[in-house]
Chains A and B, each alone.
Chain A
Amino acid sequence: MSDKKPERRDFLFTATYAVGAVGAAAVVWPLVDQMNPDASVKALASTEVDVSSLKPGNTITVLWRGKPVFIRRRTQEEIDVARSVKMEDLIHPEKDEDRAKNPEWLVMLGVCTHLGCVPLNDKGDYDGWFCPCHGSHYDTSGRIRKGPAPWNMEVPKYEFVNSNTIKIG
């Protein structure tokens, strides 16, 4: 092989393999992509929640895209604690001001960023959330403080439709 000059036949072989590979990839892609979220799953993109009955210090959990979302009406004390934390003490530094635009309301996915369990409310070393699966502790802003989880609990896109209703998604 090494000493021989490439012939016309070698070119034909290479071209055939290349076309074959493209064809195979084109056939495989639909078989792979069918496993991605389908149109009906994507259609369930937003949820509206009435939060008028929620008192300070309470949390409700709602389902959005099959995942729990925590909506917490925080007490002044919790807000003060969350906002006084130094950035260098955080594993995943994020300001509480960026996580809760309206400081009284904390809206985030109730999904531990380690392996996806639902953390428990008002638990843990930082009086925020505690994940029972592998022991991650979150603070009153839902930021990871201790344990194996790499990130803070995710804040989804949401908005206040009016003073009583939050639209998630």
Chain B
Amino acid sequence: MSDHEYTPKSKAGKWFNDRLPLLTLANHLTDYPTPKNLNYWWTFGGILTFCLITQIVTGLVLAMHYIAHADMAFESVEHIMRDVNYGWLIRYIHANGASMFFLAVYIHIFRSLFYGSYKSPREIIWIIGIIIYLLMMAAAFMGYVLPWGQMSFWGATVITNLFSAIPFVGEGVVTWLWGGYSVDNPTLTRFFTLHYLIPFLILGLVVLHIWALHVPGNNNPVGIDVKKPSKDTVPFHPYIVIKDGFALLMFMIVFAFFVFYAPNILGHADNYIEANPLVTPAHIVPEWYLLPFYAILRSVPDKLLGVVAMLSAILILAVLPWLDTSKIRSAVFRPLYKQFYWILVADVLILGYVGAMPAEGLYLLIARVATAYYFLHFLVILPVLGLKERTIPLPLSITEPVLGGSPNMAMAKKNESKIE
């Protein structure tokens, strides 16, 4: 929060602000003190906001042409691609936008894991983030069903059947989700409705996510608290705005590459075949961003336990702030954690790879080892490491390592004023 009271300069501004303090809010957002050592991994929050807005705008436009009916959905998507002005562009932005959204969210999540951003006092920000991530997966899954291709249909069948693993009520729950005895028109229309709704739920949660962030302020690469009053921070505008803007431009280059040069590379050719309830495609794979969890599901030979393992793999993240017993946030000062962090990154990538491969032979073995390691990391390594690890001493302030290593706070202060 900005420490000073804000009063608008103009009389009209003051009149308005006394009645609805929107200008105070705008002032808070521009002046918001941000640690001055934020690196480019911190720009993905802004990039994700851009992704959400892009999906909402393109989705809104697509909904003007799409028809949510089992007999017409597939054709209406082809109609968008061939007949609607710029329909191909809008649909390719929306479809690849989902992948870009997940790319950015995974970087954002792994940044938090590296720098310990989920730790006290930022647990609520983290948990809201996990809920957003869950909603993103639900929205992406339902959106993938809408074109009513073969992968849409069979992906929907497999995922909704996960609920049949629930003891006793499972079959009833699946019938309720379907609105029938198989994935069919009632399923499609409700998925369309929910796919339309979820982005706005996410938008609301994003507001809470940022609100919760603005209470303690940003974490930073050093992972220590900002000293007040100090020269540790810069105002959000223009410093972070420019930095975020530059990162966003770089990100949009990658985005545009997919949209214009490889729009179907992240999809499956089978989804250009209309849904057929009598034939299952030979090789069903979810979209790339769900593959690690799919690998975990398939690595367990029991149906119910497979589903439980997959859900736990996601939900375990929500309790991460309490599993990690270390008080030191940044991996920079945790030499062992840093290594385990990179092993976890490799583990998730391996899970993603085997999730795309057939579940047999060596692939299945690798998936089982990687699944076991995933849980080992969160349930054993993190709690023990926090108690046993010998960490590197933390600097006294964010400014200190930049301005020369005086351990004396007064000296650091003096150096700071010299720079000015």
Contacts and interface: CB of A to CB of B under 8 A. Distances in A.
Interface of A: 32, 35-38, 41, 61, 63, 65-68, 114-118, 131-135, 148-150
B245 interface: no
A132 B358 CA distance: 9
A35 B298 CA distance: 29
Contact of B359 (A67, A117, A134, A149): A134
Contacts of B161: 114-116
Given A117-B284, A133-B158, A135-B360, A66 B179 contact: no
Contacts of A63: 277-278
Nearest to B282: A132
B181 A66 contact: yes
Interface of B: 154, 157-162, 164, 175-184, 186, 190, 277-284, 298, 301-304, 306, 358-360
Given A133-B158, A148-B301, A148-B306, A118 B179 contact: no
Contacts of A148: 298, 301-303, 306
Contacts of A117: 154, 157-158, 280, 284
17 contacts: A35-B186, A35-B190, A36-B175, A37-B180, A65-B181, A66-B180, A114-B161, A115-B157, A116-B157, A116-B160, A117-B280, A132-B284, A135-B359, A148-B306, A149-B303, A150-B302, A150-B303
A13 B358 CA distance: 60
Which of B178, B180, B283 has most chain A Cβ within 10 Å?
B180
Contacts of A38: 179, 186
Nearest to B285: A133
B165 to A, nearest CB: 8
Given A117-B280, A149-B303, 10 more contacts: A32-B176, A63-B277, A63-B278, A67-B181, A115-B157, A115-B162, A117-B284, A133-B158, A148-B302, A150-B302
Contacts of B277: 63, 66-68
B51 to A, nearest CB: 30
Contacts of A41: 179-181, 184, 186
Contacts of A118: 278-280
Which of A65, A117, A131 has most chain B Cβ within 10 Å?
A117
A83 B116 CA distance: 61
B299 to A, nearest CB: 10
Contacts of A114: 161, 303
A35 B181 contact: no
Contacts of A115: 157-159, 161-162, 164, 303
Contact of B280 (A32, A65, A133): A133
Contacts of B283: 132
A42 to B, nearest CB: 9
B179 A35 contact: yes
A115 B175 CA distance: 13
A35 B191 CA distance: 12
A153 to B, nearest CB: 14
A66 B184 contact: yes
Contacts of B175: 36-37
Nearest to A146: B301
B188 to A, nearest CB: 12
Nearest to B277: A66
A37 to B, nearest CB: 5
B162 to A, nearest CB: 7
Contacts of A149: 303
A134 B157 CA distance: 13
Contacts of A61: 278
Contacts of B190: 35
Contacts of B180: 37, 41, 65-66
Nearest to A118: B280
List of 6 A-B pairs having minimum Cβ-Cβ separation, nearest first: A66-B182, A65-B181, A116-B161, A115-B161, A117-B280, A115-B158
B308 to A, nearest CB: 13
Nearest to B177: A35
A15 B162 CA distance: 40
A130 to B, nearest CB: 11
Nearest to A131: B280
Contacts of A67: 181-182, 277
A97 B359 CA distance: 33
A117 B285 CA distance: 13
Contacts of B360: 135
Contacts of B279: 118
Contacts of A35: 176-177, 179, 186, 190
Contacts of B154: 117, 133
Contact of B179 (A36, A116, A131): A36
Contacts of A32: 176
A142 to B, nearest CB: 16
